[in-house]
Amino acid sequence: MWILGVNAPPTGWHDSAACLIDQDGRIVAFSEEERLNRHRHSLYRKPNSAARFVLAQAGLTPDDIDVVALGWDSEQLYPRRFASDAEFLAYAVGLDFGTRTPEVVRVPHHQAHAASSFYASPFRKAGVLVIDGHGENESSTIWTYEDGAEPRLERSWQRTASLGYAYDAASTWLGFSFLNAGKTMGLAAYGRAAGLATEPLVELTADDFRMAVAPLAEHRGTATADEIKEQYDTVVGRWRARYAALAGADGPGAPEEALADDPKAVLVAYTAQRVIEETVTHLAALTRKAAGVEELCLSGGVALNCSTNGTLPGPLYVPPVPHDAGVALGAAWTVRPPRHHTAPLSPYLGTDVHGPDHTGRPAAPDTAGLLRTDLDTDTLTTLLMDGQVGAVAQGRAEVGPRALCRRSIIAVPDTAEVNTRVNHIKNREQWRPFAGVTRPDYGARLWEQQEHLSRYMLGAARATDLGRQVAPGVVHIDGTTRPQVLHGDEAPAVGAVLDTLARRGAPPVLLNTSFNDKGEPIVNTAADAVAAFRAMDLDFLVLGDDLYRKPGRTGGARR
C-alpha cells in the first residue's frame, strides 16, 4: 500500500508539499514544492514536482498510489467545486493517475498537524497542541495521542480567536508579509532586551483565555473558504488598528533595514510576541492537564515561534515541519500511522544534492571557472578559522524551513562582525540574528539545554557566559540563540569540521544559516547550489565531496 500525502490547492494555497509513505507508515521521501520549482512558499502552486520526486524515490508511477491524503477538508471549504475525486486530483496535484483513481482521504487540518507532530516524536503518549491561523473551524486545538489508540480531540477554539491572526496583524503593520513572521519574532527581541513594558492584550483564566480583540460571532460551525477569508480580513484589521493605537501610527516610521531603531516598530513586535508567549504557555499547561502526561507536542504555524518554544518546560517536541507543509505528512500518517516511532524524525528526506531537477532531468551544475579540489576537512577547517564564509550542500535535503547543515551557510562565529558580513551576504537586514550549531556535549556549555528543540533549530535558548564569549556572532540582542546540536554523521562536512575544531583546541561551534539569497527558497540541487554560490559573496562551496572556490579567494586571510 502506498499513500501520497499532500498539502495542495485550493485549500493549501501556500507551502504546498508531498510526502510518500508505505503500508507501515515509513517515509520514503518528503519535499516542499518550493525547493523544486524555486518559488518561495509556492503560492497557489500544486505540489506537482514534489509528488513526482517522492514517487521517483520509490520507483513508482502515479497508478501505483492507493490513497491520496489531503491535509484539509476541501469539501467543506469548497463545496461542490469538483465533480469527482479525479477532477479534484487533476486540479490539486496534477499527476496523471490513469484510469485507476486512488482513494482520496480528506483529513481535517488540525488533525493532520497533530499527527505530523506526535508520530514524528519519540513519545508513546502525549498531549498535542496545535495553534495556527485557522483550520476549517478552529484556530487552536488540544489533543491526546497515544500509540495504538484513536486520537482524542480534547478542546478547540473558534477560528477568529486566533493567535495567528494577532501575529499576522503585527507582521503586516510592520510592513512584512504574514509569511515573514520570523522577522517579527527577531525584531521583538529588541523589546525584550530593552525591558520594554507592553500593554497586556490577553487575559488568562483558569481554563481559557480572552484576547483584547474579541472573536467574531461565527454564526455557523462550518464555513466556506470565502467566508473564512472575510472573517480573517475583519479580525486582522481590528488587531492592526489596536497596534496602531498602541504605537500612535499606522505603520513604522523607519525603513525595514532600520526597524530595530524605531521604538514604535519594536513596541508592536514585542507586544505581539508577548501575546503569543503568554497564551501558548497557558495552553501548554492545559494540554498537559487534559492528556494526563507531561510529554507535549506542538504543531501549526505558531509552533515556528522559536522564542516562545524556548520558554516552555520539557519534555517538549516540535517537528521539523510544524507549518502547513507538514500536513502532507500528517494526513498520510492519519491514514496509516507508523508502526514504531522511538526516536525523533530525521529531517533529511528531500532531494539528493546530485539528484535530478524539478523536471526529472539531471541538474548538472555549471562549475566553469571555479577552482575544484577534493574535500579535505583540515583545509575546510582552516578556511573557516581564517574567517572565510562558505556554504555546504551535501546528501539529501532537509524538510522544513530550517537549514540543518546539509543546505547551510557556515562561518566561525567568534566575533560579532561575522553576523554583519553574513547578513550582507544574504542581503538581509542587519538586525536579523543567526543560529549556532555544535555537538551535544559542547552545546551543554554554550546555552540552556533543550532535549529535542535543538535537533531542528526550533527553540531559542539563553546563551551562557561561555557562549557569549566564544560565539558572539550567534547571540541575539536579548542574549539568546536558536541552537542546533548535530548528532553523529547526520551532516558529514559540518560534523567533521566541528570535531576538527575541537581537536585543534578551538571552540567547536559554527554559525549556521540557510543557503539561499533574499527571496529565494533554500537551495536544493547541485545546480541551485552553484548558481547561489556564484551570485552571493561567499568564499567557498562544499558540494558533495568536492570543495569549490572562486579565483582570488584561495587563501585563508581574514577579510
Instruction: Please state the separation of Cα 292 from the chain's center in Å.
Output: 28
DSSP state of 85: H
The cell numbers describing 546, all together, are: 568536492
Q: How confident is the model at residue 554 (pLDDT cuts 50, 70, 90)?
A: low
| Mean pLDDT, the chain, whole residue set | 96
> What residues are annotated to the active site?
14
For residues 559 and 555, give the distance between their C-alpha atoms in angstroms, rounded to a whole number. 10
In tens, the pLDDT along 272-331 reads 999 999 999 999 999 999 999 999 999 999 999 999 999 999 899 999 999 999 999 999
User: By percentage, how much of the chain surpasses pLDDT 70?
Assistant: 99
Q: How confident is the model at residue 355 (pLDDT cuts 50, 70, 90)?
A: confident
Residue 449 has pLDDT above 90, yes or no: no
Helix (H, G, I), strand (E, B) or coil at 156: strand
Question: What's the confidence (pLDDT) of residue 221?
Answer: 76
Question: What's the confidence (pLDDT) of residue 557?
Answer: 42
In tens, the pLDDT along 230-255 reads 999 999 999 999 999 999 999 999 99
DSSP state of 238: H
Question: What's the confidence (pLDDT) of residue 555?
Answer: 54
Cβ distance 442 to 508 under 8 Å? Answer: yes
Cβ distance 462 to 447 under 8 Å? Answer: yes
Question: What's the confidence (pLDDT) of residue 18?
Answer: 98
For 469, other C-beta atoms within 10 Å of its C-beta total 13
- Does the CA dihedral 519-423-355-41 come out positive or negative? negative
For residues 317 and 340, give the distance between their C-alpha atoms in angstroms, rounded to a whole number. 17
For residues 428 and 100, give the distance between their C-alpha atoms in angstroms, rounded to a whole number. 48
Residue 140 has pLDDT above 60, yes or no: yes
Pairing of strands 484-485, 435-438: parallel
For 500, other C-beta atoms within 10 Å of its C-beta total 18
| Alpha helices by DSSP H, 15-157 | 33-37, 48-58, 74-77, 85-92, 109-118
In tens, the pLDDT along 190-227 reads 999 999 999 999 999 999 999 999 999 987 778 999 99
Cβ distance 491 to 406 under 8 Å? Answer: yes
Q: How confident is the model at residue 451 (pLDDT cuts 50, 70, 90)?
A: confident
State phi, psi for 541 to the nearest 5 degrees: -140, 125
Cβ distance 242 to 172 under 8 Å? Answer: no
Cβ distance 70 to 106 under 8 Å? Answer: yes
In tens, the pLDDT along 164-200 reads 999 999 999 999 999 999 999 999 999 999 999 999 9
In tens, the pLDDT along 73-99 reads 999 999 999 999 999 999 999 999 988
In tens, the pLDDT along 422-433 reads 999 999 999 999
Residue 228 has pLDDT above 50, yes or no: yes
pTM of the model: 0.97
